[in-house]
Amino acid sequence: MTETSETASQATDRPGPLREFWYYFRENRGAVMGLWIFVAFVLVALFADLIAPHDPTAQFRKNLLQPPFWQEGGSIAFPLGTDALGRDILSRLLHGARYSFYVGIVVVTVAASGGIVIGLIAGFAPRWLDAIIMRIMDIILAFPSLLLALVLVAILGPSLTNAMIAIAIVLQPHYVRLTRASVLSERSKDYVTAARVAGAGRLRLMFVTVLPNCLSPIIVQAALSFSTAILDAAALGFLGMGAQPPTPEWGTMLAEAREFILRAWWVVTFPGLAILVTVLAINLMGDGLRDALDPKLKRS
């Protein structure tokens, strides 16, 4: 009786997993900064309609290629200037956050859920099936990601949705490999044998017993592929194979701005800056996540 109460009090002394995670995450100042920028980015994406001063596709024909407000000829009505069709760049950027966020969420959800399920199957399957799955993943990884995405879009037709499908297919093998590797290292551990002896079915072993213990590297990968998805979608948009004009997607905006680079620096600078800041914030966060979740590095 006394023994059980002792273990119980020990259990309450140990901080919960979330609090422990936050404790280590907080130590990395860059990661916290990245988190705040990311929160701001999500808020902008959600409330773009309310924050943006103008409609992102409204054309102000009297104010073509107007510079930002601090330059001569600029006005506070268009704080970051206007593009070649007289559209307000700030409003377009704010709405662009919405597309990038959407791309990130959809691509990561599709790639991660597909990759985790396939990886779990590969980890638990008989050897021949495992070999087949992993060879298929090797085949996808043999193509440079952007090239494969481009070709897939060429088959499906250029649009933001097809770009997202292509990027999800290209990113998915990374999840399969990660999940399979951690499943293989967990599978032979005592707690899994115990669960099996206790009569847990195969599905329960896969999803309830083993999967939660494999999640750390997958979470880090999710953060990193969120930024890859945004970059690749912007690159496809830039090449004319992603979102189509007049969609205010950041990469598409850059493609439209290309011919004005020597006349109007602002139409080129701001969309790219938006991509860079968002991707940088997510990568900072990803580094912090890895430090906080990887027990090997934790106390070094």
CB of 274 to another protein, least distance (A): 10
- Could you give the CA distance from residue 108 to residue 112 in angstroms, rounded to a whole number? 6
CB of 202 to another protein, least distance (A): 27
CB of 24 to another protein, least distance (A): 17
- Which of 90, 176, 235, 292: binder of another protein (CB under 8 A)? 235
CB of 213 to another protein, least distance (A): 23
CB of 247 to another protein, least distance (A): 17
CB of 284 to another protein, least distance (A): 7
CB of 262 to another protein, least distance (A): 5
The stretch among 7-15, 159-167, 192-200, 238-246 that binds another protein (CB under 8 A) is: 238-246
Residue 265 found at the interface with another protein (CB under 8 A): yes
**Token digits for 244?**
């189509």
The stretch among 43-51, 95-103, 118-126, 142-150 that binds another protein (CB under 8 A) is: 142-150
Q: Which of residues 189 and 258 has its CB atom nearest to another protein in the complex?
A: 258
**Token digits for 220?**
């880090």
CB of 251 closer than 8 Å to CB of 237: yes
What's the Cα-to-Cα distance from 136 to each of 108, 129, 149, 263, rounded to whole Å? 20, 11, 17, 48
DSSP 3-state of 82: strand
Q: Which of residues 39 and 194 has its CB atom nearest to another protein in the complex?
A: 39
CB of 86 closer than 8 Å to CB of 44: no
- Which of 58, 77, 129, 139: binder of another protein (CB under 8 A)? 139
Residue 150 found at the interface with another protein (CB under 8 A): yes
CB of 252 closer than 8 Å to CB of 196: no
- Which of 241, 285, 292, 293: binder of another protein (CB under 8 A)? 241
Applying the rule CB under 8 A, the residues between 212 and 231 that interact with another protein are 227, 231
- Could you give the CA distance from residue 121 to residue 115 in angstroms, rounded to a whole number? 10
Contacts of 88 (CB under 8 A, 6+ apart): 52, 53, 54, 56, 58, 60, 78, 80, 82
Contacts of 258 (CB under 8 A, 6+ apart): 268
- Which of 186, 287, 291, 294: binder of another protein (CB under 8 A)? 287
Residue 159 found at the interface with another protein (CB under 8 A): no
Site string for another protein, 7-46 (x = CB under 8 A): -----------------------x----------------
Buried b (16+ CB within 10 A) or exposed e, 127-166: eeebeebbeebeebeeeebbebbbebbeeeebebebbbbb
Count the neighbouring beta carbons within 10 Å of the beta carbon of residue 274. 22
- DSSP for 241-260, written as a single string: SSSPTTS--HHHHHHHHGGG
- Which of 94, 120, 122, 275: binder of another protein (CB under 8 A)? 275
Residue 268 found at the interface with another protein (CB under 8 A): yes
- List of residues contacting another protein (CB under 8 A): 30, 135-136, 138-139, 142-147, 150-151, 154-155, 227, 231, 234-235, 238-241, 251, 254, 258, 261-262, 265, 268-269, 271-272, 275-276, 279-280, 283-284, 287
